Amino acid sequence: MALPSTYADRNCSLARALEIVGERWTLLIVRDAFFGIRRFGDFASQLGIPRAVLTNRLKFLVQENVLERVDGEYLLTAKGLRLWPVLRAMMAWGDEHYSPGGARRTFRHDADGGLLDTGDRCSTCGEVVSAPDVRIEPGPGFDPGNATPDPVSALLNTPRRLLEPL
């Protein structure tokens, strides 16, 4: 997927979106950013992605204003935060079809602890919650034996709010 890979179909916003976040690794990088990862080395070790590719992806995401660099850290911009529903929808589909033990992660409204549906609507207060107000925790389908033992993963598998730095 070359960078200006210009899916010819300009009249479909899906094609446009895929030009930005459709490359291999990109959405996983964005996911990790939501999970609180901010530094080059943490992205690299968490994803097992070749460093050269990571450099390219981060550069591109910054250029496209999905991430911004602040004090050497990579942070999601407002535009990047709006990708949360995309990730959420994909995770829901993956849980539904590839996780027989139930969802691997559970999402709650941090303010009132209400469970969030796949559209991030809170079962307690009824509001649609945006990313910074989401708390994420291991769900019934989470497999501890499958988790890598490094300290960063351990932190990520602990209940925590989205975007909270490690």
Partner DNA sequence: TTCGGCCAGTTCAGTGAATGAACTGCCGAT
Partner DNA sequence: ATCGGCAGTTCATTCACTGAACTGGCCGAA
| Rounded distance between C-alpha atoms, residue 106 and residue 108, angstroms | 7
CA distance 13 to 162: 27
Site for a second copy contains 15 (CB under 8 A):
yes
How many CA within 13 A on the CB side of residue 71? 1
Q: Rule CB under 7 A: is residue 82 a binding residue for DNA?
A: no
Residue 50's binding partner out of DNA, a second copy, none, with CB under 5 to 8 Å set by partner kind: DNA
Question: Among the candidate windows 37-45, 100-108, 114-122, 136-144, which touches DNA by CB under 7 A?
Answer: 37-45
- Residue 72 binds what, of DNA, a second copy, none (CB under 5 to 8 Å, by partner type)? DNA
Question: Between the CA atoms of 60, 132, 99 and 17, what dihedral angle is there, to the nearest 10 degrees?
Answer: -30
Residue 102 CB, shortest distance to DNA, in Å, is: 29
What is the size of the binding site for a second copy (CB under 8 A)?
53
Q: Which of these ranges, 52-60, 100-108, 130-138, 153-161, lies near DNA under the rule CB under 7 A?
A: 52-60
Crossing angle for the helix pair 26-34 and 13-21, to the nearest 10 degrees? 80
Q: How far apart are the first and last CA of the chain?
A: 31
Token pair of 71 as six digits: 């004090």
- Residue 139 φ then ψ, to 5°: -100, -175
From the list a second copy, DNA, none, pick the one residue 15 interacts with, judged by a Cβ distance below 5 to 8 Å according to partner type.
Answer: a second copy
| Residue 37 near a second copy by CB under 8 A | no
Q: Which residues contact 154 (CB under 8 A, 6 or more apart)?
A: 147
Query: Interface with a second copy by CB under 8 A: which residues?
Result: 1, 5, 7-18, 21-24, 27-28, 31, 46-48, 79, 82-83, 85-99, 103-105, 118-119, 128, 142-143, 146-147, 157
